[in-house]
Amino acid sequence: MERRPRGVTAVSVISAVVGALQILTGALLLFGGAALAGSLILLVGVLTWIVTVGLFRGSNGARLFVTIVLLLNVGSAIYILLAHPAQLWSAVLGVLFAVIGIALLFSTKANAYFDR
């Protein structure tokens, strides 16, 4: 079996942490009385965890999904840069992290891992 590359593991771990924080936030909002917002954030957290499991297992579909989300983050960062120039560093970091994530998911080793 092909060993999971460190870059894929790093993206997967970050995704797991984000999903856990989303689930925690959603649960806190639900218990705090914000049913709609809490439910939506909880749902996104669960979906994030499902995709994370796919990344850990080498699912090409999970890689594609994460890539689309990262590209949406790039688009969002560009919008922030244009609409709110004072948020320059936030936008730059958003683009940088998304590009690093995509690069890690499509490195030579990652391609071999996902194409197995």
Residue ranges per structural domain of the chain = 6-110
Average of per-residue pLDDT values in the chain: 93
What is the spatial distance between Cα 13 and Cα 104, in angstroms, rounded to a whole number? 13
pLDDT at res. 115? 87
Mean pLDDT value of segment 15-25: 95
Smallest Cα–Cα separation from 42: which of 26, 21, 19, 20?
26
Strand (E) or helix (H) holding 5: none
pLDDT at res. 116? 78
What is the spatial distance between Cα 92 and Cα 106, in angstroms, rounded to a whole number? 21
Mean pLDDT value of segment 92-110: 95
Mean pLDDT value of segment 98-114: 96
Place of tokens 């914000």: 34
The answer to whether the beta carbons of residues 4 and 56 sit under 8 Å apart is yes
Is the predicted pLDDT of residue 73 greater than 80, yes or no?
yes
pLDDT at res. 9? 97
Chain Cα centroid distance, residue 3: 22
- 64 band by pLDDT with thresholds 50, 70 and 90: very high
Is the predicted pLDDT of residue 1 greater than 80, yes or no?
no
pTM metric for this prediction: 0.85
Mean pLDDT value of segment 78-85: 91
The answer to whether the beta carbons of residues 94 and 75 sit under 8 Å apart is no
- 65 band by pLDDT with thresholds 50, 70 and 90: very high
pLDDT at res. 42? 95
What is the spatial distance between Cα 104 and Cα 49, in angstroms, rounded to a whole number? 19
